[in-house]
Chain A
């Protein structure tokens, strides 16, 4: 749209020469105004997006004693990192690996999800076995049914896990898969982790858009089905892989649904923060903060500040990774091919 405008401006300034001498023509003025308007718009939208994070920051870096004082609303009157320190000492129990372990968990899940959904997506896009249409319909259907609606039975299913009575037969009892990390990996391997049907759909659309000649060429060169897929198709699917990987990683890291229900005691940072900062723990947390940072009194605001500090800590690695990957995604976006 803007391109079009600029072109029009150029054309008129070329053809009507005398007007160019007057720098304050009407057209230029409106162009200037619309630029200002656009800039204001963009800046305000950026502000609105960043607003939730911006509102967290001031309290986090305020000294616990100064909380709630009218002197420090946006800018802390005494700068302090006590709240962040509290996150490391109390929420993570002095064990910084919790953060790395949940990052590693997200990375593993993300890897499994990309690998499995790419395979399913490729199969749905490029081969035609009997019942392919039905399978594709089921993929869409799974995405449409909200996962909470079968939470109860899924939970019970995992509590007494058995496939066709096999475990019952060999072990004499069914398996309790609740509160075991393997449950989460099983879900990802078999395609039912966070929004995995969406990923299958993205891969299917992408592979459908790839030119068939690539595949044919490799077949003529004598590569089999698997070699073609792993050596030719998968490397060519980089844009889709990147997009899916980022979404999968972010969603796995921020997931409290599966982690909380199926592996409650696991080292997942999000779940731990959620549990630590329950209202019932208010007194306990305030007490701890009072002892550690020897402040005479703390109030509800301290509880909030500490909570916000752990949110910031939780977000930091995610934001750093996002910042590095974002550029690549946007560059590749037109090739992801959700469009087709």
Chain B
């Protein structure tokens, strides 16, 4: 009996170590990739940003240490493709991203709730609601936004599809301050641009909504909650994890398609200023991480992220 027990323990030990080894083997390709395709380039980016980068005699890269010179040049001498100072570009992009972020998250939650409701023709509506996954490809967004067909149609429709009429109505019949109205009209005018970013988020929210067990709603109903209360007291808290995920995804997605990213390419390949391009990359990277930190802090304040 005792021996048997010992043998079992031994087998168990052996099994658990082999499992650890196998688990490590499974993640090994990724780790290798991390070193080759991520860690080394990141290290080099940081290195280049503190150096003057030139093409060496043998065709390689020659580095001469220059301290913070690249960063100083970046913010004092260089200009973006729009001939604006770099800090102006960062300010614009950040304010843009932080206004779009809540709009996109709320709108995709809204779409997911609509797609989750029961009504005739739901199948077709769902097909269309998830279409932004395809139409939101950056390639397609870029192509369609500047398309002449759109301009033609919009001018011929006499601004009906634009915001002109709505803004007039808001100005006359509400007492909102002009700034709010301008903001609203801006949002409405850019609604299709906003929608192109909602594909994945809607999908994630719908997954979250569908995984909420109906018993939660039944309990709420029995307790006499109205649908407003059910939404705020049941749906939203149960979607907390999904919301955090969506917010992070949206933030990263917005940064990836911001004009800062294009600027990095310009500095490196068009202007051939690799050192300054690297400095810009480092600032860009830090910017994303800081923005993320701020967002996480905000989510913690509103209790969407659990305190550990």
Docked-complex contact A127 and B119, CB < 8 angstroms: no
Interface residues on A, range: 35 or more
Complex-state Cα separation, A116 to B18, whole angstroms: 20
Bound Cα distance A300, B300 (Å): 52
B42 and A150 form a contact (CB under 8 A): yes
Q: Given A1-B227, A116-B29, does the pair A154, B138 have CB atoms closer than 8 Å?
A: no
Interface residues on B, range: 35 or more
Q: Is A96 close to B, CB under 8 A?
A: no
User: A45 at interface (Cβ–Cβ under 8 A)?
Assistant: yes
A93 in contact (CB, < 8 A): no
Is chain A's interface secondary structure helix, strand, loop, or mixed overall?
Answer: helix
Instruction: Verify A127–B19 contact, CB threshold 8 A.
Output: yes
Contact, CB under 8 Å: A59 / B61 = no
Chain B residues lying within 8 Å of A126, measured Cβ to Cβ, are 23
In the bound complex, do residue B156 and residue A70 qualify as a contact, i.e. CB atoms below 8 Å apart? yes
* Known interface pairs A4-B230, A49-B128, A191-B30; A147-B23 also in contact (CB < 8 Å): no
B22 close to A4 (CB less than 8 A): no
Asked if B231 and A338 sit within 8 Å, CB to CB, the answer is no
Say yes or no for B281: interface residue by CB 8 A criterion: yes
Majority SS of interface residues in chain B?
helix
Residues of chain B within 8 A of A329, CB atoms compared: 130, 203
Q: Does the CB pair B38–A150 fall under 8 Å?
A: yes
Please, which residues of chain A bring their CB within 8 A of the CB of B29? 116, 119-120, 189-191
Chain A's nearest CB lies how many Å from the CB of B132?
6
Interface residues of B in 13-42 (CB under 8 A from A): 18-24, 26-27, 29-34, 36-38, 40-42
Residues of A within 8 A of B148 (CB): 59, 300-301, 304-305, 308
Q: Nearest A residue to B249 by beta-carbon distance?
A: A198
**Min CB gap B55→A, angstroms:** 11
Q: Which of B32, B207, B221, B277 has the most CB of A within 10 A?
A: B207
Question: CB distance B27 to A124 under 8 Å?
Answer: yes
Contact with B along A296-340 (1 / 0, CB 8 A): 000011001101100100110011001100110110011011111
Stretch at the interface among B64-72, B77-85, B172-180, B191-199: B191-199
Q: List 29 A-B contacts (CB under 8 A).
A: A5-B227, A42-B125, A45-B129, A46-B128, A49-B128, A52-B144, A55-B144, A55-B147, A55-B150, A73-B153, A74-B153, A122-B26, A150-B44, A150-B45, A152-B264, A152-B277, A153-B40, A156-B61, A190-B30, A200-B30, A225-B18, A247-B133, A270-B139, A301-B148, A315-B134, A322-B131, A322-B134, A327-B127, A337-B211
B residues contacting A by CB (< 8 A) are: 18-24, 26-27, 29-34, 36-38, 40-42, 44-45, 48, 60-61, 111, 113-114, 117-119, 123, 125-135, 137-141, 143-145, 147-150, 152-153, 156, 191-192, 195-196, 200, 203-204, 206-208, 210-211, 217, 221, 226-227, 230-231, 241-242, 245, 248-249, 252, 255-256, 260-261, 264-265, 268, 274, 277-278, 281-282, 284-285, 288-289, 292
